[in-house]
Every structure is written in C-alpha cells, then in structure tokens.
Amino acid sequence: MEIKKVIPSGYCKGVVNAIRLAKKTKQDNPGSDVYILGMLVHNSFVTEELSQLGIVTLDDSGTSKSELLDRIDHGIVIFTAHGISDAIKRKAVEKGLTYVDATCVDVLKTQNIIRSYLDEGYDVIYFGKQKHPEAEAVLSISEKIHLVCDEKMLDELKIDNDKIFLTNQTTMSYLELHDLFELVRKKYPAVVVEEEICNATSSRQKAISDLKDCDVLYVVGDVKSNNTAKLVDIGKKHGIKKVLLIQDYKDIDLKDTDGAENVYVTAGASTPPKLIEEVIAYLRTQHA
C-alpha cells in the first residue's frame, strides 16, 4: 500500500501569520492578559497550544463577538484571521483595550472589493456560510450585502437594484461556487462577478481533483473548519471511494484502508503540520 501526502495541504499564509501575531503579542507583553475573540483559526489543537502560552480564546457557540467583547475589561484583544467588523473594533477602543488585527490579507482583499462596489451603488450577493465569522464580518459592512448559502436562499432573494455584484467567502468549494454562480447569472443576467476563493483554498482543492488513483483520502482538520469541510466535499464529488475527515491519527480506523492500494492524506489550511505528519507516520507504521 502506498501512503502519500497531497501537495499542497495544511497551513496557509493567513494561518501562519495569525499564529505568529498571537504568539508575538504574548511574548512582547508578558504582563498583559491576551484574549482572542473567537478561535484564531478553526483548529482545537492550535487553540490548545495558544492556551498553553497563556493566551485565552473566548469562543462560546451562539455568543456574538460583541457579547464576547463584553467579557473583557482590560488587556489586549486579538481579532481572528476571518476578519472583524468596524463596530467591534470601535467598541474595543471605547473600552480602552488594545487590539491586534490578524485578519488575513485575502479576506481583506475581498472586503475591499465589496466596499468599492457598494460605493458605486451596487447591491452585493455574497455566497458564504451562515454564522461563519468571515461571512459575519462581511455582512456587517452594509445592509446591501445579501448572504446566499444555497439555491433556496437565492430563490427567496429579491433585490430592487439594476446594479448587482456577486462574490464569495474565500474558503468555499469551487464546484459549489460554479453551480451557484450560474444560477445567479440566470436570475440576474447583468450581474458583475468576481470569484474570490483564495489561492490557498483553490490550490488545495485542485490538488484533490487531480488525484487519479486514490482509494482512500484522509482529510485532517477540525469539524469547525470550512475549508477542511470543502476538501471533503471535493473528494466525494471527485468520486474517491472513501473520504474520511479525522482530527488526528487517533481517529483512524485501520479497517477503512482494507484492500486499498493508494491512500492519500490532505489537510485543511488551519491544520498544524505536526498532525499531518503523525497521520502519515501512523499509517506507514501500521502498514509496514
């Protein structure tokens, strides 16, 4: 049995930068309490590693960023790679907090494109995931941004404006995106479109689409990670017989590889390299 790593996979530049910023903030301010508003990146191992360094992650599902911010009255707050609304930044400043913004440059780029179309009088259709922090930060920019997660939401959408701009969350699946964008073009033929899947997401998805001989694909990542979930979707849609989402090597059931000739391992952009290497090492040891 061959066990191979899909290239590229794992950490992207936005995640590397966010983790570096968080660690540096604590290192440079050893006497200050350092908080992160939500998971810095969607991986519980990263959250745990930061916690060991004394960095506190505030992340209760169902609790808004504003409510999380209410729990802090001193110290430094870090905004995550997914982006943050201007209102939350203002609130942090009004509370007398110092903030560090770890928003990924690719997320900022999409936000800036959206802002420029809004300035020109467009309504914006934004294809993204409900309640995802990246989508929430974008939606906070203007009421003229309409979140669409699926065909049903698109059917229900009514925009009374001839000028419509269509774009997307950076970590969506290119297959879903193409299908949904086609439907938007049918509904609003004059729509102006810019696809904004980030390079890290698209290259990891394409690497899976290019696999020719894969019997089993392990996708290492956190269930909260959207780009990890999309790698699973792409693998399944690409016809790979078994696509398995695992958090680390302990989730592997070796029965899943029975009869397989080629086993591949990939990982979401927020998955630490150590976890990927442990999965590969474990599989190779068990099948030696």
Using CB under 6 A as the criterion, which residues of the chain lie in contact with ligand SF4 when the complex forms? 12-15, 81, 104, 106-107, 170-171, 198, 200-201, 227, 269
State the minimum distance, in angstroms, from the CB of residue 173 to ligand SF4: 13
Number of residues assigned to the chain: 288
CA 195 to CA 128: how far, in whole Å? 12
| Residue 182 appears among annotated catalytic residues | no
When the beta carbons of 15 and 217 are compared against ligand SF4, the nearer one is: 15
State the minimum distance, in angstroms, from the CB of residue 21 to ligand SF4: 12
State the minimum distance, in angstroms, from the CB of residue 35 to ligand SF4: 20
When the beta carbons of 123 and 222 are compared against ligand SF4, the nearer one is: 222
When the beta carbons of 19 and 216 are compared against ligand SF4, the nearer one is: 19
Residue in 134, 156, 176, 278 annotated catalytic: 134
DSSP state of 259: T
274 — phi, psi (to 5°)? -60, -40
- Write 140-147 long-range contacts (CB < 8 A, 24+): 140/85, 140/86, 140/87, 141/85, 141/86, 141/111, 141/114, 141/115, 142/118, 144/118, 145/114, 145/118
Q: In angstroms, what CA-CA distances link 12 with 22, 230, 277?
A: 16, 15, 16
DSSP state of 77: E
Nearest to 69 by CA among 31, 96, 104, 108: 96
When the beta carbons of 198 and 214 are compared against ligand SF4, the nearer one is: 198
75: left (phi over 0), alpha (psi -120 to 50) or beta: left
State the minimum distance, in angstroms, from the CB of residue 167 to ligand SF4: 13
Token pair of 163 as six digits = 């000028």
How far does Cα 183 stand from its chain's mean position?
24
When the beta carbons of 41 and 216 are compared against ligand SF4, the nearer one is: 41
State the minimum distance, in angstroms, from the CB of residue 276 to ligand SF4: 16
Cβ partners under 8 Å of residue 153, min gap 6: 147
Q: Would you please indicate which residues are annotated as catalytic (active-site) residues?
A: 134
